[in-house]
Structure 1
Amino acid sequence: MKQLLLLFFLLNPVLGWAQQTGTVQGVVRSGGQPVAFASVGLKSSKLGTTADENGRFTLAAVPTGNHRLVASAVGFQPTEHSVVVTDGTTATVEVHVAAVPAALQEVVVTGVSRATEIRKSPVPVAVLSKREVLLNSNSNIIDAAVQGVPGLSAVTTGPNISKPFIRGLGYNRVLTLYNGLRQEGQQWGDEHGIEIDQYDIERIEVVKGPASLMYGSDAVAGVINMLPRLPTGTSGRLHGDALTEYQTNNNLLGTSLGLTYHQRGWQYAARASYRRAQNYRNALEGRVYGTAFRELNLTGMAGVEKAWGSTHFTATLYDNFQEIPDGSRDSLSRRFTRQVFEGEQDDIRNRPLVPQADLSTYRLNPLHQHIQHYRLLNRTRLRLGAGDLHTLLGVQQNQRREYNHPTAPSQPGLAVALTTTTYDIRYAAPAWRGLETTVGLNGMHQRNQNRNATDFPIPDYNLTDVGGYVHLKKAWGPLELSGGLRYDTRWLRWDDFYVGPDARTGFARQVNRAEATGTEPQFSAFRTRYQGVSASAGATYSFSEKLLLRANVARGYRAPNITEVGSNGLDPGAHIVYLGNRTFGPEFSLQEDIGLSAYLPDAELSASLFNNDIRNYIYQARLTDADGQPVVIVPGNATYQYQQGRARLYGAEITANLHPRALPMLAFNNSLAYVTGLNKQTGLLETHGRAARYLPLIPPLHTRSELRLTQQRARGRLSNAYVRAVLDLHAAQNRFYALDNTETRTGGYALLGLGAGTGLRNRTGEREIVQLFVQLDNALNTVYQSHLNRLKYFEYYAASPNGRQGIYNQGRNLSLKVVVPF
């Protein structure tokens, strides 16, 4: 069977070479006027292009036969047009599209069985384009998504480290994808970010709500899919863009070069990106020691699209050097100090001050992380009659080393390599009497290995996931129903793992059973199996094309991750000793979601309410002794033990985007996101009362308002010029997990942002040759702490002379981006 499959995949490209092709050309119009820069492509195909400013387009290398041509543009309803292509000829068409609010035409492909219009998805979905990402200044791709999607937040550990949270749930409850491939990079940790090149992402799709039906474990809160750019533009010509970015706060320098090419169905893309930054600063503390970084990304793609379908191979390399902050300071001046000794010789009160030269440099300090992530994936789509078979195969390895020994800077304290093989097979059957059926099978195998290290928070382990599902969708007039059922199982296992002294270095090291000389293993052998059933049922009712009601009920499943079950040691980068619990069972959530959306001539309004009850909810809490004092296993590091109980999260998201027809250049966009997380563990509440009432890491009420004026028609050589003002309001967070001082109250704050930009067209006005984006964030240089900023708790003293504790967020920052498309 394996040989037949291999032969099939090898023969398909050969058959594609012999495929007869023709050309399709034409114009896209609305009301007799050309629609500039409309997207035009073949339905159920990746073959597409962009019309010019006069609405004209050309599609080359189109397979012969009958096709459906799809044209869409922001502000217009997508339209299909039949076209017949014969070998060696050119078919000419004129496609007419109708103007409607932009939100009606967006199509989402994440978290659903087939491409679906956002408005018809029973769960809330948000899409962020590359242009929206470019408008904002950000240090990583998650921060970019947070600024554009209500209900999405991030736990941060400095400017380049952000973990996504959806509606108060994060870590292994949010599944992050790169081009459909699940991102496996030890996402359960706080101290490193998502290993994806932000300059390579063309589109971000966010599913807010349980998506376990499609993906299995780790998608109970939602999915974030980062989609890279595919080749577009004129066939047979090299296209691409060059980007340069500078940010004043931490002197961030970013450069990126991307190239794309396609001809006769063959497609190629490549990108190289490099960023480096110094320590960030704020008005209270100056530069924050330990927050500089250096990052390199390389990406390559090759693929082919023919009448039989398509196949694409993508390879990526992520290489990041990231400093490790610890927050140590002089007790009186509050200036940052550095660690130079270890163990009993390291006195926090006598650490030397960090010289100014070491605060304002691109040179990284000896205490840092080195994270490398390699990824190879294949996406294939085969047309099987009226149905489609989609496959995704990927292998990735995440190597993480944390250098935390000042007396031995070349010796990593933590060194792990995580290798993951992922598969996803999905068959979309032909519709039968209006019923669309999709069946799928996906899973992964994962192996973690500790290498030359001195600290071992988790053991070497093997993990295997497998799950299958069926999804159904059918429409009855204005009512569209969808739902499905899934079963998952996970095997987790590891052998005895011993740790002993290293006479050569004086540190600990991994040893075998014989070398352990009768000592107990740090991680004794463990075998277990988790299993669970996921299900969803949703409906969308269209009162009209402009008023829709959607509702969804879903049962999510999540198996515990490795740290929650097996951790028993220091994570140097987090400055935390984690203790797991082998008795944990899987989490099961039941979420209800209901939303109403109105697409009016002058506004787009939406409101969504959700309620999420979770059984076996797992969270972190500080470990204390019988006297209520914090347990310290490793001096200078906190000790956390995972807990499991019941929880409930509920909240709302509201958006009101105004775009008056009488003033088409004006857009006034507003959003509100609110979530409350309640700890429902009865015994804990009875013992500790209000201190244990709320869940940890719950974002406060957040509103965002943006006023934007955008140039509607090119004037001279300027196009798409805009000015904008953004106001972010974060309420005080008074509902926090206060037990054992795990969290503290966070005050509210307001951040003002100002921005402007424009495009510069060539002399003939045919295309943009330069795009300029300027953004000033935190324009008033407000001193604040985000409730989800882990640096807030990096503090060694019970009190400080200025009454402020922990590390504060970034101050005023001016960002300049220049993009040169070609």
Structure 2
Amino acid sequence: MKNLYITMLLALLAQFTFAQNSLSGKIINNENQEPLEQVSLYFPQLEKGTVTDVDGYYEITNLPTGKFKIVISYIGFQSYSQTVDIIGTSNQLSIALTSSAIEMEEVIVSTPFHKLQRENVMKVERTSIQDLKSTGAINLSEGITTIPGVESVSTGVGIGKPVIRGLSSNRVLTYTQGILLENQQFGDEHGLGISDAGIESVEVIKGPASLLYGSDALGGVLYLNPEKFANSNEINGDINLNYFTNTQGFNGNGGFKTSSEKLKFLVRAGGSSHIDYKTGGDERVTNSRFNEKDLKTGLAYQLSNFKTEIRYNYNNSELGIPEEIGEQSTNRTPLEPFQNITSHILSSKTNIYFNNSSLQAIIGYTANNREEYEDHHHEEEHEEGEEEHEEESPALDMKLETLSYNIHYNLAKIGAVETIIGVQGMNQTNKNYGEEILIPNATTNDVGILATSHIHFNKSDIQLGLRFDTRTINSEQNGIIEQEGYVAALDKNFNSFNIAAGFKFDVTKSLITRVNIASGFRAPNLAELTSNGSHEGTNRFEVGNANLNNERNIQTDVSLEFKNEHFEFYVNGFYNSISDYIYLEPNGTNIDGDAVFLYQQQDANLFGGEVGLHYHPHPLDWLHLESNFSTVTGELKSNGNLPLIPANNWANTLRFEFSKINKNLNSGYGFLTLKSFFAQNKVSDFETSTDGYTLLNLGIGSTIKVSNQLIDLKLSAKNILDKEYISHLSRLKTDGILNIGRNVNLGISIPL
């Protein structure tokens, strides 16, 4: 047996020691055969790449033996992907790229097979943080609302929760650094808890993703891709600054990264501060101010057959909880009630590459500390207020620790079939240290086993998968038996078996159709099972229900996409049937001035979709016309309507590329967007209708050179007409408080 272990170890070391392979070649323009400089070449599975030099030449070294997909992309050209067979020490691949006015495609990371968007069986939306920031969004929660079918439940401008096709909170998972972001996300009165600094792009899975991510992915996934390490033997750095006129807000971050052939390092630090926002009625919403500090860093070590990385993220947010339009102030220190939320996110990702197969292990640890300071008085703001906050203990003090794991084995490809098997899970503990207890001390354990295959044919692709999950929740009792507020101890077990099937067919070179059917589930969370109280920000007294069952759903998605060099059109439709949908309903009573809400269950249906087009008229190479319409309807089986369903909306954008008008303007752009939200009259029994409104946004940006230093400048304005409106998804709607008015953003980015 000892000799067997030694033999296996030597075989593994041989993989690392002798597979020193390389890929090189030249990338040219198909039209004029001229070399293309700064073309990106990237192996998604290996997370390794480079760019071409002035002669169009590239070389990627230290590659393992096997078959791996390479993606070649360059602005103004159609993205190219190909599976490359690395079989010797020196491999060649030269490509002629074809120009395209439509934006280049990117690799989808949130699904396991790392395909380009057009190659993926499951429809996934992807957008870069740079594009989101160019619209003038204050934070990530606001930025993602530019994606069709995605909105945000907001409490002011500092607190927002993603809504995907009408589902939010614990029905939408957020992933960052490849691990699940666990930060008491059931609460509506705090935001995502992560800064957009150090995030490269956002991917959105619109529909059940329980097959890939387990419980709570019933409504979809928000997948945040961290910035990549620098290419081998490169050093990069940048400084980014933004100012927002409405909130007199500023945010900034600076980053540095360096890589050798084997060792890679990056670090980015940033922060933001905003005063109370001003409505279109020229009034500041008291205590909507917020502050944030953020640090992200990473270290990686890479050999030809082995790669490991560790990333760490520290985030602290101080969030005022707005309740009224009171004293008009420009103070940046939150008043009571406010929250102080601190998160530590530590992740480790290791990849081992064998001949035509690979193993990936991701281990994550998150620690989330949520402190809430209640409003004990209604005195006007004064200078001594800050000292009072520092001395006062939080009424609510919750610490959540989560250890998660995600292990995938990518089997050797058999013909046209790729298969991945995996195991995922987590151990989570919630503890209370404050005078108030929103949810009891508890431990949650998840274990999931999955298998999924992708089968590629000449003009079509099929993806199949199945998964089994089990979740156990054990909580302590809270309070004294037979006294008000008592919550019994809990010992619950939830199981679920889910399947998914997808089919993509290339009708023509330009026309693609997709059909996906998937089941999903969500186990009730601690708040739904055990709540018995109220706290600041909810305006309600919530009573849990220990007898709640799993939510289960089946969603059908159908899409049709047409795309050529100058025109793009898509239609997405979905029907989502949910059994035992959990929702809150008032019972008509009050406790301490707060309305009592009970957790109920009932079958529900959601349906709708998105339609969009992108037209690039020839020969006006500098002009883009974009339009998209999103609609969703949510109904209970009893013929009632679901709460917090986004209003139908229609966005129309004119976008200009100044560089194609005058090459001296480098990468200059401009846009004008008119986004209309229709009246929302399909409301739940405890909601009110919301009037429609239209917002006008515009922006401009360019890269200039000052003394050989490139500087990226952008100027944008949201709600340029200072419209007075209330969003249907605003938590401040019940108090009649308007959303933010005109907000001009000036941004500067300096690459070092």
TM-score, with length taken from structure 2 = 0.92
**Percent identity, aligned pairs only?**
28
Partner of 1:255: 252
Residue 747 of structure 1, aligned match among 676, 680, 691: 691
1:278 maps onto 2:270 in alignment: no
Distance (whole Å) between structure 2 residues aligned to residue 51 and residue 609 of structure 1: 41
Whether contact under 8 Å (2:142, 2:152) holds in the other structure is yes
Q: 1:669 to 1:46 in 2, by over 3 A?
A: same
Partner-residue secondary structure (3-state), 1:723: strand
The answer to whether the 8 Å contact 2:20/2:304 transfers is no
Mapped contact 1:675–1:699 kept (Cα < 8 A): yes
Deviation at 1:810, TM superposition (A): 0.1
Instruction: Name the aligned partner's letter for residue 543 of structure 2.
Output: L
- Kept in 2, the 8 Å contact 1:607–1:652? The answer is yes
Q: Is residue 647–residue 680 contact of structure 1 (8 Å, CA) maintained in 2?
A: yes
Q: Report how far residue 295 of structure 1 moved.
A: 0.3
**Which residue in the other structure is 2:571 paired with?**
607
Residue in 2 aligned with 1:76?
78
User: In the alignment, which of 733, 737, 740 is matched to residue 807 of structure 1?
Assistant: 737
The change in CA–CA distance for 1:160 and 1:17 in structure 2 (over 3 A counts) is farther
Other-structure match for 2:106: 106
Q: Which residue of 2 aligns with 1:418?
A: 400
1:689-728 aligned at under 5 Å gives the runs 693-713=640-660, 718-728=665-675
Shift of the 245–540 alpha-carbon distance from structure 1 to 2, 3 Å rule, reads: same
C-alpha displacement at 1:385, in angstroms?
2.3
In structure 2, do the counterparts of structure 1 residues 21 and 268 end up closer, same or farther at CA, with 3 Å as the change threshold?
Answer: farther
Instruction: Report deviation, 1:493.
Output: 1.1
Could you say if the C-alpha distance between residues 205 and 21 of structure 1 is closer, same or farther in structure 2, counting changes exceeding 3 Å?
same
- The 3 A distance-change label for structure 1 pair 103 and 208 is farther
Aligned to 2:119: 120
With 519-528 and 547-556 compared, the bigger mean Cα shift is at: 519-528
Shift of 1:716: 6.9
Query: What does residue 579 of structure 1 align with?
Result: 543
Q: Which residue of structure 2 lines up, in the alignment, with residue 176 of structure 1?
A: 174
- 2:730 paired with 1:789: yes
What is the identity, as a one-letter code, of the residue corresponding to 2:737? I
- Which one-letter code corresponds to 2:583 in the other structure? Y
2:488 to 524, 537, 548: 524
Q: 2:423 aligns with which of 431, 441, 446?
A: 441
Contact 2:718/2:743 (8 A) holds in 1: yes
Q: Does 1:45 align with 2:72?
A: no
CA distance, structure 1, for counterparts of residue 86 and residue 444 of structure 2: 50
Whole-Å Cα distance in 2 between the matches of residues 391 and 774 of structure 1?
42
Residues 556-575 of structure 1 aligned to structure 2 (within 5 Å): 556-575=520-539
**Shift of residue 321 of structure 1?**
0.7
1:151-550 to 2 correspondences below 5 Å: 151-233=149-231, 235-284=232-281, 286-327=283-324, 336=326, 354=327, 356=328, 359-406=329-376, 409=389, 410-451=392-433, 453-498=434-479, 522-550=486-514
**SS state at 1:578 partner:** strand
Aligned residue type for 2:497: V
Q: 1:718, CA displacement in angstroms? A: 3.1
- Say whether residues 1:671 and 2:628 are aligned partners: yes
Relative to structure 1, is the Cα distance of residues 386 and 580 closer, same or farther in structure 2, using a 3 angstrom cutoff? Answer: same
RMSD: 2.8
**CA distance in 2 between partners of 1:310 and 1:290 (Å):** 46
* Stretch deviating more after TM superposition (394-403 or 24-33): 24-33
Query: 1:35 offset after TM fit, Å?
Result: 3.4
CA displacement 1:43-63 (0-9 Å, x = unmatched)? 6322212346x4635546534
Q: Deviations over 1:153-185 (max 9, x none)?
A: 110011111101111011111111103211101
Secondary structure in 2 matching 1:295: strand
* Counterparts of 1:754 and 1:384, CA distance in 2: 50
Residue aligning to 1:34? 35
Residue 65 of structure 1, CA deviation? 6.5
**Contact map agreement 1:746 1:785 (CA 8 A) in 2:** yes
1:481-500 per-residue CA deviation (whole Å, 9 max, x = no partner) reads 111111111101112223xx
Quote the residue 2:700 is aligned against. Answer: 756
For 2:409 and 2:263, locate their aligned partners in 1 and report how far apart those are by CA, in whole Å. 24
Aligned to 2:95, the other structure's residue is in SS state: strand
Once residues 163 and 711 of structure 1 are traced to their aligned partners in structure 2, the CA distance between those partners, rounded to angstroms, is 35
User: Unaligned regions of 5+ residues in structure 2, if any?
Assistant: 378-387
Q: Using the TM superposition, give the Cα deviation of residue 138 of structure 1 relative to its aligned residue in structure 2, in angstroms.
A: 1.3
CA contact (8 A) 1:274 1:296 kept: yes
SS at match of 1:202: strand
Tell me the SS of whatever aligns to 1:430: coil
Moved more, 25-34 or 422-431: 25-34
Once the two structures are TM-superposed, the CA of residue 577 in structure 1 deviates from its matched residue by 1.7
- Which amino acid in the other structure matches residue 229 of structure 1? E
In structure 2, what is the equivalent of residue 644 of structure 1? 601
**Structure 2 CA distance for aligned equivalents of residues 244 and 116 of structure 1:** 34
Gaps of 5+ in 1: 328-334, 337-353, 499-515, 625-630, 686-692, 796-805
Task: Please state how far the C-alpha of 1:211 moved relative to its aligned partner.
Answer: 0.7
Tell me: CA distance 1:788–1:770, structure 2 relative to 1, closer, same or farther (3 Å): same
1:86 deviates by: 8.6
Quick one: distance in 1 between partners of 2:140 and 2:363?
24
Between the aligned partners of 1:155 and 1:792, the Cα distance in structure 2 is 11
1:133 equivalenced with 2:132 (yes/no): yes
- Where 1:606 maps in the other structure, the secondary structure is strand
Q: Distance in 2 between matches of 1:17 and 1:578?
A: 60
CA shift, 1:363, in A, is: 2.8
**Which amino acid is the alignment partner of residue 430 of structure 1?**
A
- The range that moved more, 545-554 or 39-48, is 39-48
Aligned to 1:347: none
Q: Which residue of 1 aligns with 2:142?
A: 143
Moved more, 278-287 or 36-45: 36-45
Counterpart secondary structure, 1:107: coil
Which one-letter code corresponds to 2:700 in the other structure? A
Could you tell me how far apart the structure 1 residues matched to 2:22 and 2:123 are?
Answer: 40
The alpha-carbon deviation at position 406 of structure 1 amounts to: 3.0
| Rounded Cα–Cα distance in structure 2 between residues aligned with 1:517 and 1:534 | 39
Q: Which residue of 1 aligns with 2:591?
A: 633
**1:306: how far off?**
1.6
C-alpha contact 1:546 1:600 (8 A) present in aligned 2:
yes
Q: Structure 1-normalised TM-score?
A: 0.84
Moved more, 468-477 or 413-422: 468-477
